[in-house]
Amino acid sequence: MVARDLGLYGLAMLFFAALAALVGTNAQARFARQRLREHPDREIAAAGLLWRPMRLGRRYRRRRTAAEAPFRADPGRWREYRRVCDDLAAWNWLETAVALALLGSVAAFVAAVLPQ
């Protein structure tokens, strides 16, 4: 019984750690979007704000392509735009991973609590 209780405590700590990580990564993603809004190059900021994970629709792609067109020809501006989008993508992947860890900890806790 003691081992089961320790396991439940461990799962509860994992849940709270994952929850704290989710809140932290969400805040960092908001800060990244805020940095993007304050970017000195207004065209990069406007095009970067169109960035969304997994947006695959034709209308979305046309809008994004049109917004990217002014700086595609300039390698320096294009690199800066890609850096901004990669920053947003990295935070999105981290948020996704932490959310999955949170979901896994909840599932493990429920499985441990429910009688067999």
Which tens digits make up the pLDDT trace of 11-27?
888 889 989 998 999 89
pLDDT the model gives residue 71 = 84
pTM of the model: 0.74
Question: How far apart (Å, rounded) are the C-alpha atoms in residues 59 and 50?
Answer: 12
41-79 pLDDT, tens digit each: 888 888 888 877 666 778 888 888 888 888 888 999 999
80-108 pLDDT, tens digit each: 998 988 888 888 889 889 989 989 888 88
Return the higher-pLDDT residue of 115 and 19: 19
Question: How far apart (Å, rounded) are the C-alpha atoms in residues 98 and 83?
Answer: 23
Question: How far apart (Å, rounded) are the C-alpha atoms in residues 72 and 24?
Answer: 33
pLDDT the model gives residue 54 = 67
pLDDT the model gives residue 68 = 86
Q: Is the pLDDT of residue 1 over 70?
A: no
Give kind and range of the element (H or E) at residue 95. Answer: helix 75-113
- 3-class DSSP assignment, residue 65: helix
